[in-house]
Structure 1
Amino acid sequence: MKFNLIVVENTFEVYALLVALLFGGVGIWVGIKLFTKNKQLIVVEGSGTPGLVDEEKIKELGISKREHEVLELIARGHTNQEVAELLFVSPNTVKTHLANIFAKLDVNRRTQAIQRAKDLNILP
């Protein structure tokens, strides 16, 4: 009986509370969906086919291990942002690595770098 009186006397407040709870729940759900990223870990080391990569040529060109990792990920079609996320570095660091790779391979574009790297057998 008392519950009925509370609900009947305070109908607006009860509905307002229910709406507030609903919107709060929806807001939390949307926040979780928007701000949690699906992280994908790609192990670059050892990902190539053994024997097809010319390690001596990599050393001769002066390409660092990290630059080679960036080159492999770019060859797989990843964007600078994706490479940065996968390697846990900033996009500017990826751009710096790419500039170094371009200079060492004497190319101007990503596609040229990938093709030249494949021609030199430094990418599988």
Structure 2
Amino acid sequence: MVELNQLLLEFEAHLNGDAVTEEWKGPRDSWMSEVSAASNEKQLGKLLVELEANFQKQAVQSYWKRIRQSWVEECHIASTLEKVSSLLLELESNTTWEVMTDEWQQNREKWVQQMYDFIE
């Protein structure tokens, strides 16, 4: 569980300022604490939705609009590490390169492999 929490924090840390709304700056620190302390999949799913809800429109591919509602619903009912991991991967794969830090491109492959470790 803790490792997935860290992977979520790592993804969020590589979002640049263009990725999220101005309002995200306020709750971000408490969100990070909640992610670190999350002890079950339901909590992580809720926190994943909270992060995505603060994304700017240009932070995600246009396709995201079509799948977002079902993605949010799945996050709210996610009850396994595999499911939360796949939902985080889905969000990451729909996030545009423009809103990710340059370091993300170098770190992404390792991060994705760690995410797949939860699914396999």
* TM-score normalised by structure 1 residue count: 0.28
Return the structure number with greater relative CO, CA threshold 8 A, min gap 6: 2
* TM-score normalised by structure 2 residue count: 0.28
Counting helix residues as a fraction of each chain, which structure ranks higher? 2
